[in-house]
Amino acid sequence: MNLDYSVVVSTLPYLGKGLLFSLQVTLVAMTGGIVFGTLLALARLSRFKTLALVASAYVNLMRSIPLILAIFWIFFLVPEIAAWLIGASQPVQIGTTRTAFIAFTLFEAAYFCEVIRAGIMSVSRGQSGAGYALGFSYSQNMRYVVLPQAFRAMIPILLTQTIILFQDTSLLYVISATDFLGAASKVAQRDNRLVEFYTFAALVYFVICFALSKIVKQYQTHLTRNVAQA
């Protein structure tokens, strides 16, 4: 087999742009997913049955469908629905970038929700009761007592989910977005060097994900040691 990795080197700027886009999607979806996921978690734990039911339905729906289907919904179906709502004759163009940000944020929020809900429920009732004893309202108790403790314990799981999120950005190739894998695929087919480019892409994914997983493991060890000393 005649392998030539010089073709990979010559396209590094283009591949770098694809990697940057994948990292941007990961960062936006992680941030938006945690914020939206926190709201969903609070809604699921709410005493208002209707609110809890709606939040549960959303989470169960998103966790029951493939991510690629959510991407297709946002990219193909939502423009048609938006056009129907505003009475436009043509579908409302969302574009690949906004589709990526929206689809990943909405999808990941459901997974972050369950992580955050478990974290909130892991905080002892004594801590929550102490907050109320100090005169905190429900929102103040969540903000100053419950959520800080919950997030501290949840960081390793949230980071692990973020690693999975970064890997999942490779699915954006189905809508021809120029993410990292999409960029590698385009130049691989153009130059007929599939082995070289896909091998390089696999190596980059491995290095990034392995490095992040080691960071998560070190943090878990640090967290366990601190809990044991407390």
138: CATH: 1.10.3720.10
The structure's pTM equals 0.87
Structural domain of 161? 8-229
Which CB contacts under 8 angstroms, 24+ apart, belong to 218-226? 219/155, 219/156, 219/159, 220/156, 223/152, 223/153, 223/155, 223/156
Scored b (16 or more CB within 10 A) or e, 9-34 reads eebeeebeebbebbeebbeebbebbb
What does each of the 230 residues of the chain score in pLDDT, given as a tens digit?
A: 677 778 888 899 999 999 999 999 999 999 999 999 999 999 998 888 999 999 999 999 999 999 999 999 999 888 888 888 888 778 888 888 999 999 999 999 999 999 999 888 888 777 777 777 877 777 888 888 888 888 888 888 888 999 999 999 999 988 888 899 999 999 998 888 888 899 999 999 999 999 999 988 888 777 677 655 55
- Give dist(CA 21, CA 99) in Å, integer: 13
Angle subtended at Cα 200 by Cα 194 and Cα 206, rounded to the nearest 5 degrees: 130
d(CA 41, CA 117): 5
Q: Cα(119)–Cα(142) distance, rounded to whole angstroms?
A: 12
The verdict on residue 201 lying in a domain is yes
Burial label for 224, CB within 10 Å (0-12, 13-18, 19+), is exposed
Q: Would 99 be classed as within a structural domain?
A: yes
Q: What DSSP character marks residue 5?
A: T
- CA 60 to CA 164: how far, in whole Å? 19
**Cα gap 218→224, rounded to integer Å:** 10
Q: How many domains are there within the chain?
A: 1
- What does the angle CA 14 – CA 26 – CA 175 come to, to the nearest 5 degrees? 60
> Token pair for residue 194?
């599939």
- Asked if the structure places residue 2 within a domain, the reply is no
Could you tell me if residue 35 is inside a domain? yes
Is residue 179 in some structural domain? yes
In a domain, 30, yes or no: yes
The tokens describing 21, both together, are 């886009």
Residue 108 domain flag: yes
* Residue 3 lies inside a defined structural domain of this protein: no
The DSSP call for residue 193 is -
